C-alpha cells in the first residue's frame, strides 16, 4: 500500500512539472507588451476572505470569476454552468431538480445525498447555509449573478461550522444605464426560461427587481420542473461613508419530479427511463422559500469600518420518497441570524496592519413530519418532532503587510446547541478553529504562499433525524468531523494573464458518509467511517489577448480512507463520489462584428459509487459550444444566443447515489441537446 501511495504521488509531481512547462510559455507571452492588446485583467479586492484582499496577495487558494461576460450566452438552468472552471470543485446532479445540485470542494460536501453539505454558501454578504450546515441553490437568481468567489479549502476560522470550502456569490446592484431587460430561452426537453429585470433609482437609491420562470420536462421520464423566482435588491447611500442594502427572495417550485436511481442493466435497456417504484409512489418535491435580509456598511474616519447584517428565512418543503413508512416528508424551517464585523486599519511607511473582530449568532427550527406514502397518497402520521440548532461564533482576524510579505492569522470560537422537543437536554459542541497564512513576493508579478487552516462539521438535522432505529429523536451516535489543511502555492499575475498552482494535504477524522437500508429504498442514513487523507495539485490559468480569451484548470488528487479504517476494510480505499482527476478548458473569440464564440470542454476522471470501491464509474468527457450575437440599435440592444450541450453526445451519468441499496447508483445524463434565446434591453 505504501508503495502504491508513493507511485501516485510521483504521478502528481510529474503532472505538476508538466503543468509548469505548459504554462511557462504563456507567462512569457503575457509579459510581452503589445500595442494591439485591448483587454486588461483587473485586480479586485475579494469579499469572501472578510478582510478584503486581492486574490493575488491572499495567502490561500481562492478562485474569482467575473460572471457578467458569461451571462450573455449561458442557459441559466443550473449553477453548475458557472462552477466548471474552479479547480478542486466537483459538482453532480444538475438534471434531477428534486435533489438539487451537489457540489464538493476537495472532498468536503461529497457525502450529500441531496443539496449541499460541508460547504458554506454566502449570497450578497448574507449566509445561505443553515447553522447545521445544510444548503441549496434552487432559489438562486442565476440571471443576475455578478461575481463568484470560491475559497478552496477549510475556512472554519472565517465561517465556522460546515466551511470545508466557501462559495461566495454577489448579484447585480444595478443595470448600468439600462432600465429593463427581458430574456427568453428555449431548448431541448421542452425547456423554457423567461426573465424580466428592471431598475428604479435616483442618485442615492437603486432598486433592482428580477423575475424568473423556468419549466422543463427534463431529460428522463418523470423529471419535470416548474419554478418561479422573485428577487429584489435595494441599495441606499446614507452618506459618502455609509450605505444600507435590503434584499428579498421568494422561490415557488410547485413540482420537481424525482425519477430515481437505476441499476446499470436498466440504463442499458432504456437510458431515459424512470425507476418504476418512483413513478408508483409519485416521488417529487415542492418548495416555497422566502428570505429577507438587511446589511449596513459604515466607515468612521480613515481607520474604522463596520459591516453588519440581519436576516430571516423560511423554507416550506413537501416531498415524497419511494417507500411506504415515512415516505412523505413535510418540513417547515425557520432560520434567522445576525452578525457584525468591526475592522481597524493602520497604514505606515513600512507596513499596513488590519484586524477584524466578528460576532455572529444564528438559529434554526425544523418542524419535521413524516407520513405513510400509500402509493402516492398521504397516509397516517408516523413521525413528528421539532428540531433545533443554534450557533454563536466569535472570530478575530489579523493581517500584517509589508512590501513583499503578507501574514494573515485567524481564530474563531463557536458554541453550538442542538436537540428536539422530546429531549430534556441539548447536545452541545464547543470548538476553536485557527488558521495562519503567509504570502511572499518572489518577483513583481509572482508570489508564493503557505497556509494552515482547519474545519469543523457537525451532522445536519436531516442527517441526525434519519435514525436507523426508526425511533423519534436524533441519532446522537453520529459525531462531528474535523479536518486539518496544509497548502503550498504559487501565483503569477500580469496585465493579461493570471496563473495559480496549489498543492494541498488534508487529514480528516470522523468522516460522515451516506448509506441505504433495504426497508427504506431511496432514503439515506449516515454513519461515521473514520479518517481520510486527501492530497493533490490544482492548476488554473486565465489569458486574454486581443479578441481571444483562454481559461483552463486542472485537478489531480487522491481522496483516501486512512489506515484507521483498517478494521472496516476501508484502509487505502478511495472516497466515493469524487474523481481523482478533472480538466476544464474554455476558448473564447469575440469578432469586431460583435459575434462571440465559445468552445469549452471537461474531462472527469473515474470514481467509485461505494465505500468498498466495488463499483467504478468510468471517466467521461463533455464538450459545449456556444455563440452570441449583439446588435445595438438606437433605442435598445438586442442579443441572440444559442448553445449545444454535450456536443459529442457522450454517454455518462449526471448523478451517482452513493452506497445505494440494490445497485441503484445511476442517474443518466442528457445526450446532445440544444438551447437558444433572445435578450432585449431598454
For 467-525, what is the HEC assignment?
CCCCCCCCCCCCCCEEEEEEEEEEEEECCCEEEEEEEEEEEEECCEEEECCCCCCCCCE
Per-residue pLDDT at 522: 62
What are the helix and strand counts (H, E) for the chain? 7, 39
SS3 28: helix
Residue in the structure block whose three cell numbers are 452506497: 659
Nine cell digits for residue 607 = 470514481
Per-residue pLDDT at 26: 38
Per-residue pLDDT at 469: 67
The CATH number of 2-681 is 2.40.170.20
659: Cα separation from own chain's centroid: 23
SS3 635: coil
Q: How far apart are CA 393 and CA 592, in angstroms?
A: 53
Q: How far apart are CA 482 and CA 434, in angstroms?
A: 13
Nine cell digits for residue 675 = 438551447
Contacts of 44 (CB under 8 A, 6+ apart): 54, 55, 64, 66
Per-residue pLDDT at 466: 79
Q: What are phi and psi of 144, to 5 degrees?
A: -120, 20
Q: For residue 391, which of 342, 426, 341 has the smallest C-alpha distance?
A: 426
Q: How far apart are CA 623 and CA 435, in angstroms?
A: 39
575: Cα separation from own chain's centroid: 19
Per-residue pLDDT at 424: 55
646, 623 Cβ separation under 8 angstroms: yes
Q: Would you say the C-alpha torsion 452, 458, 459, 462 has a positive or negative sign?
A: negative
Give the burial class of 350: count Cβ atoms within 10 A of its Cβ; 0-12 exposed, 13-18 middle, 19 or more buried. exposed
Beta strands in 55-144 (DSSP E): 62-66, 89-92, 102-105, 116-117, 120-123, 126-127, 134-135
210: Cα separation from own chain's centroid: 22
Q: What are phi and psi of 85, to 5 degrees?
A: -85, -5
- What count of residues does the chain have? 682
Residue ranges per structural domain of the chain = 2-681
288: Cα separation from own chain's centroid: 21
Nine cell digits for residue 390 = 443554534
Give the burial class of 512: count Cβ atoms within 10 A of its Cβ; 0-12 exposed, 13-18 middle, 19 or more buried. buried
122: Cα separation from own chain's centroid: 10
139, 291 Cβ separation under 8 angstroms: yes
* pLDDT averages per 10-residue partition of the chain, 682 residues: 41 39 38 39 79 93 93 93 96 91 91 84 94 91 96 94 94 86 97 96 90 96 97 94 95 96 95 95 96 96 94 96 92 96 92 96 95 95 92 97 95 94 77 97 96 92 78 81 95 95 94 76 76 95 94 96 73 91 96 94 96 94 96 84 97 92 93 96 86
Per-residue pLDDT at 350: 85
Please, what is the Cα angle at 170 between 166 and 173, to 5 degrees? 165
Amino acid at each position: 500500500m505504501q508503495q502504491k501511495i508513493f507511485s501516485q504521488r510521483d504521478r502528481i509531481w510529474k503532472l505538476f512539472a508538466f503543468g509548469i512547462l505548459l504554462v511557462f510559455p504563456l507567462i512569457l507571452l503575457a509579459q510581452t507588451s503589445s500595442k494591439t492588446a485591448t483587454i486588461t485583467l483587473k485586480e479586485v479586492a475579494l469579499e469572501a476572505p472578510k478582510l478584503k484582499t486581492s486574490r493575488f496577495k491572499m495567502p490561500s487558494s481562492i478562485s474569482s470569476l467575473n460572471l457578467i461576460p458569461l451571462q450573455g450566452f449561458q442557459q441559466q438552468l443550473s449553477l453548475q454552468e458557472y462552477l466548471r472552471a474552479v479547480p478542486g470543485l466537483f459538482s453532480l446532479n444538475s438534471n434531477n431538480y428534486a435533489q438539487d445540485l451537489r457540489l464538493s470542494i476537495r472532498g468536503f460536501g461529497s457525502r450529500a445525498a441531496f443539496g449541499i453539505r460541508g460547504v458554506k454558501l454566502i449570497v450578497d454578504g448574507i449566509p445561505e447555509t443553515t447553522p447545521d450546515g445544510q444548503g441549496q441553490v434552487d432559489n438562486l437568481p442565476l440571471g443576475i449573478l455578478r461575481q463568484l468567489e470560491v475559497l478552496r479549502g477549510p475556512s472554519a476560522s472565517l465561517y465556522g461550522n460546515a466551511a470545508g470550502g466557501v462559495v461566495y456569490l454577489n448579484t447585480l446592484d444595478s443595470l448600468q444605464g439600462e432600465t429593463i431587460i427581458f430574456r427568453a430561452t428555449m431548448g431541448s426537453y421542452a425547456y423554457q426560461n423567461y426573465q424580466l429585470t428592471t431598475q428604479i433609482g435616483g442618485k442615492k437609491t437603486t432598486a433592482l427587481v428580477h423575475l424568473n420562470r423556468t419549466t422543463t420536462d427534463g431529460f428522463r421520464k418523470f423529471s419535470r420542473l416548474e419554478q418561479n423566482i422573485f428577487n429584489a435588491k435595494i441599495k441606499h447611500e446614507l452618506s459618502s461613508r455609509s450605505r444600507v442594502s435590503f434584499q428579498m427572495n421568494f422561490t415557488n417550485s410547485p413540482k420537481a419530479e424525482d425519477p430515481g436511481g437505476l441499476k446499470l442493466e436498466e440504463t442499458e435497456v432504456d437510458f431515459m427511463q424512470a425507476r418504476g417504484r418512483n413513478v408508483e409512489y409519485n416521488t417529487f418535491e415542492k418548495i416555497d422559500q422566502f428570505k429577507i435580509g438587511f446589511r449596513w456598511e459604515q466607515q468612521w474616519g480613515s481607520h474604522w469600518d463596520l459591516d453588519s447584517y440581519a436576516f430571516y428565512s423560511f423554507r416550506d418543503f413537501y416531498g415524497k420518497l419511494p417507500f411506504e413508512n415515512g415516505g412523505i416528508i413535510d418540513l417547515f424551517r425557520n432560520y434567522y441570524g445576525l452578525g457584525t464585523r468591526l475592522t481597524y486599519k493602520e497604514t505606515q511607511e513600512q507596513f499596513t496592519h488590519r484586524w477584524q473582530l466578528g460576532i455572529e449568532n444564528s438559529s434554526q427550527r425544523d418542524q419535521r413530519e413524516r407520513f405513510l406514502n400509500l402509493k402516492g397518497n398521504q397516509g397516517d402520521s408516523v413521525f413528528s418532532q421539532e428540531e433545533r440548532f443554534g450557533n454563536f461564533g466569535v472570530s478575530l482576524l489579523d493581517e500584517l503587510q509589508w512590501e513583499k510579505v503578507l501574514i494573515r492569522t485567524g481564530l474563531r470560537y463557536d458554541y453550538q446547541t442542538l436537540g428536539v422537543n422530546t429531549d430534556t437536554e441539548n447536545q452541545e459542541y464547543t470548538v476553536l478553529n485557527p488558521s495562519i497564512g503567509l504570502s511572499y513576493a518572489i518577483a513583481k508579478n509572482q508570489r508564493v504562499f503557505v497556509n494552515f487552516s482547519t474545519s469543523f462539521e457537525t451532522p445536519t438535522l436531516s442527517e441526525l433525524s434519519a435514525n436507523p432505529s426508526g425511533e423519534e429523536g436524533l441519532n446522537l451516535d453520529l459525531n462531528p468531523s474535523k479536518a486539518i489543511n496544509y497548502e503550498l502555492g504559487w501565483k503569477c499575475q500580469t496585465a493579461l494573464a493570471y496563473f495559480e498552482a496549489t498543492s494541498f494535504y488534508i487529514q480528516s477524522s470522523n468522516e460522515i458518509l451516506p448509506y441505504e437500508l433495504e426497508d427504506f429504498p431511496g432514503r439515506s442514513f449516515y454513519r461515521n467511517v473514520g479518517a481520510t487523507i486527501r492530497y493533490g495539485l490544482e492548476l488554473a490559468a486565465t489569458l486574454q489577448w486581443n479578441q481571444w480569451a483562454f481559461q483552463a484548470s486542472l485537478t489531480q488528487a487522491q481522496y483516501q480512507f486512512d489506515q484507521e479504517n483498517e478494521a472496516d476494510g476501508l484502509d487505502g480505499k478511495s472516497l466515493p463520489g469524487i474523481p481523482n482527476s478533472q480538466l476544464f478548458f474554455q476558448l473564447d473569440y469575440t469578432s469586431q462584428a460583435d459575434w462571440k464564440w465559445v468552445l469549452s470542454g471537461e474531462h472527469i476522471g473515474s470514481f467509485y459509487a461505494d465505500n468498498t470501491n466495488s463499483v467504478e464509474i468510468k471517466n467521461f468527457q463533455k464538450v459545449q459550444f456556444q455563440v452570441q450575437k449583439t446588435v445595438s440599435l438606437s433605442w435598445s440592444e438586442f442579443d441572440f444566443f444559442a448553445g449545444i450541450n454535450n456536443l459529442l453526445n457522450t454517454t455518462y451519468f449526471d448523478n451517482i447515489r452513493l452506497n445505494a441499496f440494490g445497485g441503484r447508483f445511476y442517474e443518466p445524463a442528457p445526450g446532445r441537446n440544444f438551447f437558444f434565446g433572445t435578450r432585449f434591453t431598454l
